[in-house]
């Protein structure tokens, strides 16, 4: 479980296909200083297991399905990725509950400065907009954000300068793919309502 509060941006050092899985190596400073083998780390919002680490790098095994269903297929050496270690029971919960399980890819439709802030509009695949509500929560590449607009098959958020400075969103442009995780509570409510007798 995560909060959607990004701890640092790492850089992809290598992403290669091995005999059993894809192997993702990330260069980072903060996160490797306090991990153990088997720990969960959210990489662009996707929960991955640490399989190796040293003082400046993390390694993960990535399933083909994970690569296909996320924006990992577009990762290349040098790409920025958002990193967050899993939630500890004794820490503040500054964002919202994020499971690290990506629901769908989103596509940047508009990303532009408006005054001192930035406006980001994201298109979602058909059928997923039902999880988006005005002022609700959404995780974009693992970042906990508040929905400012929700209409049709798209939604928008506003980004403060700090968010751009500490996440990978600063390098995004129209057409780029983003990992989306919708509010976990909305999905449970939907399932419970569907199971209720008519």
165-192 confidence digits (pLDDT tens): 999 999 999 999 999 999 988 888 888 8
Domain boundaries, the chain: 8-85, 104-195
Check whether 104 has a pLDDT greater than 90.
yes
- The per-residue pLDDT for range 57-75, each reduced to its tens digit, is 999 999 999 999 999 999 9
User: For domain 8-85, which CATH number applies: 1.10.10.10, 1.10.287.70, 3.30.2010.10, 2.40.30.20?
Assistant: 2.40.30.20
Intrachain domains 8-85 and 104-195 with the same fold: yes
* 34 vs 141: CA distance, rounded Å: 22
CATH level 3 topology of 104-195: Elongation Factor Tu (Ef-tu); domain 3 (2.40.30)
Q: Are 184 and 196 in contact, with CB atoms under 8 Å apart? A: no
Question: How far out from the chain centre does Cα 33 lie?
Answer: 21
Element at 115 (helix H, strand E)? none
Degrees, nearest 5: CA angle 45-50-55:
105
**pLDDT, tens digit (0-9, with 9 covering 90-100), for 122-170:** 999 999 999 999 999 999 999 999 999 999 999 999 999 999 999 999 9
- DSSP secondary structure letter of residue 86: P
3-state secondary structure of 133: coil
Q: Looking at residue 76, what is its pLDDT?
A: 96
| Start-to-end Cα distance in the chain | 34
């Amino acid at each position: 479980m995560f909060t959607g509060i990004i701890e640092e941006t790492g850089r992809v050092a290598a992403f290669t296909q091995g005999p059993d899985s894809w192997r993702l190596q990330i260069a980072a400073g903060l996160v490797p200083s306090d991990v153990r083998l088997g720990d969960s780390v959210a990489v662009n919002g996707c929960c991955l297991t640490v399989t190796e680490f040293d003082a400046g790098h993390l390694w993960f095994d990535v399933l083909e399905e994970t690569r296909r269903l996320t924006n990992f297929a577009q990762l290349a050496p040098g790409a920025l990725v958002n990193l967050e270690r899993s939630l500890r029971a004794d820490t503040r919960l500054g964002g919202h509950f994020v499971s690290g399980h990506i629901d769908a890819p989103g596509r940047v439709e508009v990303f532009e400065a408006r005054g001192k802030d930035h406006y980001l509009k994201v298109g979602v695949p058909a059928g997923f907009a039902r999880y988006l509500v005005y002022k609700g929560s959404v995780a974009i590449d693992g970042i906990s954000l508040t929905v400012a607009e929700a209409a049709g098959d798209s939604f928008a958020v506003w980004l403060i300068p700090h968010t751009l400075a500490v996440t990978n969103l600063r390098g995004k442009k129209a057409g780029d793919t983003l990992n989306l995780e919708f509010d976990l509570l909305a999905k449970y409510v939907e399932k419970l309502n569907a199971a209720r007798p008519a």
